[in-house]
Amino acid sequence: MTEMEQLLPHRAPFLFVDRLENVSEEGVVGYRKYTMDDFFFKGHFPEYPVVPGVLLVEAMAQCGGAGLKKLRNEEGLFFLASIEKAKFRRQVVPGDEVRMEIVNERISGMMIKQKGKAFVGDEMAAEASWMCIMKTPGSN
């Protein structure tokens, strides 16, 4: 089992973080390399494959969750509750490695508020803020 599979409940083809670095209380930096093997490129768009923006936001949220899990060994699952201020500035295409820089804005009990930016090289591809609710085993 990979480190990401230990930190996140997601599995292929819906695991969008390859590795983490710089995990701290302030935030986390993580990476994802996109390849033509990613399932969504077959339909988005076959003649001009690009990563759907919503999946870039999902990748950032996964990165933030994995960082918290690694830092705090949290039990339970994180579910997106809201997404705000999402902006897409550059297309991400097969072969691009995305660096995700996530900031922890607020962590309290069962709620996590984070924001992040996704970069290809020095170019920002996407940014957003989101809130997750944590569900522990046995809770509804």
> Which residue type sits at 117?
K
Residue 44 a catalytic site member: yes
Give yes or no for a contact between 126 and 56, defined as CB atoms under 8 angstroms apart: yes
Within 13 Å, how many C-alpha atoms sit on residue 54's CB side? 5
Short-list 133, 8, 38, CA closest to 79:
133
CA of residue 64 relative to chain centroid, distance: 6
Closest among 32, 88, 37, 79 to 60, alpha carbons compared:
32
Which position among 10, 19, 44, 117 bears the catalytic label?
Answer: 44
Question: For residue 100, which amino acid is it?
Answer: M
Burial class (CB in 10 A: 0-12, 13-18, 19+), 100: buried
Active site residues: 44
